[in-house]
Structure 1
Amino acid sequence: MGLPLPLLQSSLLLMLLLRLSAASTNLNWQCPRIPYAASRDFSVKYVVPSFSAGGRVQATAAYEDSTNSAVFVATRNHLHVLGPDLQFIENLTTGPIGNPGCQTCASCGPGPHGPPKDTDTLVLVMEPGLPALVSCGSTLQGRCFLHELEPRGKALHLAAPACLFSANNNKPEACTDCVASPLGTRVTVVEQGHASYFYVASSLDPELAASFSPRSVSIRRLKSDTSGFQPGFPSLSVLPKYLASYLIKYVYSFHSGDFVYFLTVQPISVTSPPSALHTRLVRLNAVEPEIGDYRELVLDCHFAPKRRRRGAPEGTQPYPVLQAAHSAPVDAKLAVELSISEGQEVLFGVFVTVKDGGSGMGPNSVVCAFPIYHLNILIEEGVEYCCHSSNSSSLLSRGLDFFQTPSFCPNPVSRKSGPLTSWWRGLRPQLPLPLLPFDGPR
């Protein structure tokens, strides 16, 4: 026999009130605070994949497709191939020169290859078309080697190296296949149709320039038969009279959108002391591989500490010298901090100061973030201002005196006078870009 209707309604109302009271109590309840030290379990053993290279790692590269992946690690005289979880697959011997076991030396045919000397890997990049790995060393006039990838079972192996060098087409004063410089080389590979273009930047000095005719900046196309590079490639080099005093150090290179970029550390001008350094961004066209589209922009990185020490000068501290860099798209949170859209690519750079007197780098460093889109806008604005300015009372230098005879603005672009007339270094703008939120220099 059921409850009378009034009594049933009263019971339901009481149950509802009890539930609301319990919910209100739960809203005010919080998890008890557990000290961080109590949450650690030192008995857990973590196994992290690792590989011991047996020497200083000079370069790395990675490849991955739908079925295979590999990591390539270069050390002095060796190129290691690693599979998933960094397990060792094989080792290729790249030196010393004159050693019978040098596998890359043997691919170039019988010697003489010069006196015995260790090989340092200066370039290690993927050629996306084949696909293949390309390595360039500090020996054999900086020539490169092509290593095609061969899947064997569940691992990728390197085919026998192909020497990218044609003896009949190279001589000391015009060496098409001499790519890498022992002082440092950066390479970015761009695939266009069925061709691969190598955007190369190398540091030079008088001895190197006289030995096998490398170039400061060049755009080289790989031959279809992989016997070397096409002759007659567009290039630039520091003028002979500045080679001893004007060293350009190429720190980083990357491809973004329609352009290839190089980051350099170099003297402020050809007349400034070699210790007066700053950082520049170099831009080349990745759609039309022409050297005449060369552009430069000075990157200024400053830091304003939240708390200024007593007696310290007001204003921001300049950090002119780049140490390392990386480019990547940013997520929503960082995009808001940088006042850009989510997914835009940003260049991150670690900058340091120069000690008093230029004797070395300072102990502190900061990170500056430069949205690539904003950098391109500044370059285009600089070109527009330079080439179409009507203010002839104060001529602006194009700032590339180490590559060409002095050139000034305004100067309308004219192909008749050569591609150098369309170049623009930049106006040394103070980039209106925020720093990453660090508490202070590190």
Structure 2
Amino acid sequence: MKAMPWNWTCLLSHLLMVGMGSSTLLPRQPPAPSPKRSFVTFRGEPAEGFNHLVVDERTGHIYLGAVNRIYKLSSDLKVLVTHQTGPDEDNPKCYPPRIVQTCNEPLTTTNNVNKMLLIDYKENRLIACGSLYQGICKLLRLEDLFKLGEPFHKKEHYLSGVNESGSVFGVIVSYSNLDDKLFIATAVDGKPEYFPTISSRKLTKNSEADGMFAYVFHDEFVASMIKIPSDTFTVIPDFDIYYVYGFSSGNFVYFLTLQPEMVSPPGSTTKEQVYTSKLVRLCKEDTAFNSYVEVPIGCERSGVEYRLLQAAYLSKAGAVLARTLGVRPEDDLLFTVFSKGQKRKMKSLDESALCIFILKQINDRIKERLQSCYRGEGTLDLAWLKVKDIPCSSALLTIDDNFCGLDMNAPLGVSEMVRGIPVFTEDRDRMTSVIAYVYKNHSLAFVGTKSGKLKKLAL
């Protein structure tokens, strides 16, 4: 992830709840100019860039993942503790990393870019994964950032690769009487033999346990992971899956992704590369990943297609928006930001849209596809994983809302795109981030823009 010049103002969701001028989606008179407000700020060291931020929901403490450092801040952005993570001598070609065995590649002083930051509430620790040493992780005590563990001696301990701009996302699934699971999704940067693109790992109670980050299940033929086949790179040499967001809901874990595809434009006999936004779903209890399903997502407004996912956030509908959408207030909604088109991943167009997906509707579409495939209709529709079309196989069974797959008809792709509901568009200052929450029965969304502006939308 590219380090940004660090002059940021940290505006957190709980600070944003204090009044700001709002932009509603209904016609209204232009609001009177709001008086300028001063916000509490925190600035890191000049050479640092901030990569990730998490807030402890119990204490309000803020954890910042930066280049070469982890910060713990108070709710008013005062530094409480810091933990240094780099730089150190490394080379991206060292595999295993030099801390495991001698590396013959030339070593240089290398920054450690924070690639993932997660709070493990059950064990009161912070999981901080960086770019050094093929992406090993530290487990830090929340109270004082004391290092509880740093597993690095097994292949399973290298989670995120060394590509600083690669995307990594993690989702913790917690249990009351068992060790938790960590679902990890990552870009592989052309190294599918080293890193699965998605996997589930053990989160042991003991931070120094030998089984920390081991695959939940692994034998000679089946494991709790999916790797990108080498054949895929013969079709799309720079293929990768870029993970934008992840969350859990009900019995499932979800990831939102960007994936390159080769398509033929209308009237053309040649193929060109585009990017497709897809939602990936897995059952929490599926150790063999037979439940893997992905479905394309996007939205359209006034004939303009918005297909490049920029950001997403899971929230509840709230009573007011629920009435408009015909759902329950407690139903899950996905608030997503897309930019226009499909061709420019790194240099997205400024035209962007905020769109809402009703999660139940996506799940219903997945269930319909599962049912049709188990009737023997169509193919698995997962070009990057199967390379060639594989027909669905017929089987007599009941597929309900919580069906978790079999060792047939899996993994599965949905070919028809699920379209979100566009609620706001911006043509000049591309939206790049979003959060949402319910306040007094109203659903509010905050979107950040390319130029650093913040917009509050009452939906």
Tell me if TM exceeds 0.5. yes
Q: C-alpha distance in 1, partners of 2:347/2:80?
A: 41
- Mapped contact 1:270–1:401 kept (Cα < 8 A): no
Give the direction of change, closer, same or farther, for the CA distance of 1:80–1:420 in structure 2 (3 Å limit): farther
- Percent identity reads 21
After superposition, what is the alpha-carbon deviation per residue over 1:281-332, rounded to whole angstroms, capped at 9, x for unaligned?
000112444411111111131112xxxxxxxxxxx22111101111111222
Compared CA separation, residues 441 and 345, structure 1 to 2 (3 A): farther
**Residue identity opposite 1:238 in structure 2:** I
Per-residue Cα deviation, 1:233-270 (whole angstroms, up to 9, x for no partner): 51111111324332211111111121111111112358
Q: How does 1:142-153 map to 2 (within 5 A)?
A: 142-150=135-143
Query: Which residue does 1:31 correspond to in 2?
Result: none
Q: Which amino acid aligns with 2:147?
A: A
Contact 2:313 2:336 in 1 (8 A): yes
Partner amino acid for 2:410? S
CA contact (8 A) 1:398 1:406 kept: no
In the other structure, the counterpart of 2:225 is 235
Deviation at 1:97, TM superposition (A): 1.3
Which 4+ residue blocks in structure 1 deviate beyond 4 angstroms? 39-42, 108-114, 269-274, 355-360, 437-442
Does 1:427 pair with 2:415?
yes
Q: Which moved more, 1:348-357 or 1:362-371?
A: 348-357
Q: Runs of 5+ in structure 2 lacking a partner?
A: 1-29, 91-97, 265-269, 397-404, 430-459
Q: State the partner residue of 1:299.
A: 297
Match for residue 345 of structure 1? 332
1:180 aligned partner, one-letter code: S
SS state of the match for residue 140, structure 1?
helix
Distance 1:335 1:440, change over 3 A: farther
Distance in 2 separating the partners of 1:334 and 1:50: 33
2:79 matched residue in structure 1: 88
Alignment of 1:126-141 (within 5 A): 126-141=119-134
**Match in the other structure for 1:186:** 169
The change in CA–CA distance for 1:195 and 1:178 in structure 2 (over 3 A counts) is: same
Cα distance, 1:84–1:319 mapped onto 2, change above 3 Å:
closer
Assess if the C-alpha contact under 8 Å between 1:266 and 1:279 holds in 2. Answer: yes
Larger mean Cα displacement after TM superposition, 341-350 or 329-338 = 329-338
Q: Find the structure with the greater CA-based Rg.
A: 1
Q: Given the superposition, is the C-alpha separation of residues 398 and 334 from structure 1 closer, same or farther in structure 2, using an over 3 Å criterion?
A: same
Is the Cα–Cα contact under 8 Å of residues 354 and 422 in structure 2 kept in the other structure? yes
Which residue is 1:319 aligned to? 306
Letter in 1 for 2:189: D
Could you tell me whether the CA contact under 8 Å between 2:123 and 2:205 is conserved in 1?
A: no
In the aligned structure 1, how far is the partner of 2:334 from the partner of 2:371?
24
- Give runs of aligned pairs for residues 276-425 of structure 1, distance below 5 A: 276-304=274-302, 316-354=303-341, 360-389=347-376, 396-404=378-386, 406-412=388-394, 419=407, 421-425=409-413
Distance 1:250 1:41 in 2: 38
Shift of 1:424: 2.2
Instruction: Give the TM-score normalised by structure 2.
Output: 0.70
RMSD: 3.3
Conserved 8 A contact 2:255-2:279: yes
- Structure 1: which 5+ residue stretches go unaligned? 1-34, 100-107, 151-156, 305-315
Tell me the equivalent position of 1:199.
183
Structure 2 partner of 1:176: 156
Count of equivalent residues? 360
Higher helix share: 1
Higher relative contact order (CA 8 A, sep 6+): 2
Q: Which amino acid aligns with 1:72?
A: Y
Alignment of 1:45-194 (within 5 A): 48-54=39-45, 55-65=48-58, 68-98=59-89, 115-150=108-143, 157-165=144-152, 167=153, 170=154, 175-181=155-161, 182=163, 183-193=166-176, 194=178
Q: Give the residue type in structure 1 aligned to 2:232.
A: Y
Correspondence for 2:206 among 210, 216, 225: 225
Offset of residue 426 of structure 1? 0.9
Deviation at residue 217 of structure 1 after TM alignment: 0.8
State the distance in 2 between where 1:273 and 1:137 align. Answer: 37
Query: Does the residue aligned with 1:302 lie in a helix, a strand or coil?
Result: strand
Give CA deviations for 1:336-382 in whole Å, capped at 9, x if unaligned: 33232212111111111238799942220011110111111110011
- Aligned residue identity for 1:71: I
